[in-house]
Amino acid sequence: VLALYPEPLTLLARSEAGIAGIPDLAGRRVSLGPRNSGSRTTALRLFEALAIPEKAVAEFRALPTGAAVDQLCEGQLDALLVVVGHPNPLVARALAECDAELVPIAGPAIAAHVAANEDYTSATIPRGTYPGQSRAVPTFSVTATLMTRADVVFAGGRSLHAARVQRR
């Protein structure tokens, strides 16, 4: 029905993990989000585009964002990837309580991946989105989209299908 807002792919990493970009996830413990989630699908498509085999990452976990932040705080995860709108309370918690940092998702290979996929757009998490965030963080986004079935009735009692037929 309509596009709502950008949801950037967000890489959060423990500061001590030394992760400066996607290639640094090799050999690390990473959560990509639950199976069949948009976060996981977006991350796996990115790994494929960058020719990073899944086996290069020490361990992939399929955690919901809240559980992934808990494990990041406890030192059980090195990083997590999540598609989310900003500001986000779980990202804010990770930055404030877990010695985590937002890691850029940028570079020529990322730009080529975004250019090759019409469902992605370049994005930035603006400086100051979170307390203490002193720099903008480049990444890319999907767009949250409102969808419905054609037979759903809207205000005024007409379905989307009926509205389309009437416009013809």
User: How much is the pLDDT for 55?
Assistant: 86
User: How much is the pLDDT for 168?
Assistant: 47
User: How much is the pLDDT for 24?
Assistant: 96
Q: Which of 64, 7, 60, 12 is nearest to 34 (CA)?
A: 64
What residues in the chain have per-residue pLDDT under 70? 1, 153-168
pLDDT tens-digit profile of 87-122?
999 999 999 999 999 999 999 999 999 999 998 999
CA–CA gap between residue 41 and residue 44 (Å, rounded)? 5
User: How much is the pLDDT for 143?
Assistant: 83
- H helix runs in 52-119, sequence order: 65-73, 89-97, 108-115
Contacts of 161 (CB under 8 A, 6+ apart): 150, 151
User: How much is the pLDDT for 22?
Assistant: 96
User: How much is the pLDDT for 1?
Assistant: 66
Which 3 state secondary structure label does DSSP give 39? helix
Which 3 state secondary structure label does DSSP give 83? strand
Q: Are 10 and 125 in contact, with CB atoms under 8 Å apart?
A: yes
